């Protein structure tokens, strides 16, 4: 993940970045449901990631424990938010934040646990939505 931050993540790197840096995502049902060509599409991967994030956050919320999967998901979102590429940031807001389709309490839990860069981007995104 450090390499992406050092050189600046590009949109076309997002699918590999998420599949390699988010614990359990590549083996998840959300990822496995995708066709091979869909796994190369940044928007499709981010949408699948949003579904994965909702599912694992729901599990964490129900159990009250932190898992490596949720921690790595939050780290990945923070790295995407820190990218100098507005296209990468837009993927995060438009394909991940916008697609968090889970209970309000779970979305709130995800929001509360966002790391600084992702939290700031989320706040700006919500303000634009209102």
Tens of pLDDT along 22-41?
A: 999 999 999 999 999 999 99
Secondary structure (3-state) at 65? coil
Q: What are phi and psi of 51, to 5 degrees?
A: -65, -45
Extended strands (E) in the chain: none
pLDDT in tens, 49-97: 999 999 999 998 888 877 899 999 999 999 999 999 999 999 999 999 9
Note the pLDDT of residue 1. Answer: 46
Note the pLDDT of residue 2. Answer: 45
Q: Report the predicted TM-score, pTM, of the whole model to 2 decimal places.
A: 0.92
Distance in Å from the first CA to the final CA of the chain: 33
Note the pLDDT of residue 12. Answer: 95
CB 75 within 8 A of CB 115: yes
pLDDT in tens, 2-20: 444 445 789 999 999 999 9
């Amino acid at each position: 993940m450090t390499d992406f931050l050092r050189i600046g993540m590009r949109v076309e790197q997002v699918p590999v970045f998420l599949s390699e840096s988010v614990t359990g995502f590549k083996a998840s049902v959300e990822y496995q449901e995708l066709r091979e060509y869909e796994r190369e599409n940044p928007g499709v991967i981010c949408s699948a990631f949003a579904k994965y994030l909702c599912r694992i956050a729901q599990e964490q919320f129900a159990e009250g424990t932190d898992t490596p999967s949720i921690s790595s998901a939050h780290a990945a979102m923070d790295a995407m938010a820190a990218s100098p590429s507005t296209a990468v940031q837009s993927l995060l807001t438009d394909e991940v934040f916008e697609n968090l389709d889970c209970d309000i309490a779970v979305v709130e839990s995800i929001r509360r646990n966002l790391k600084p860069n992702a939290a700031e981007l989320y706040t700006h995104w919500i303000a634009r939505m209102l």
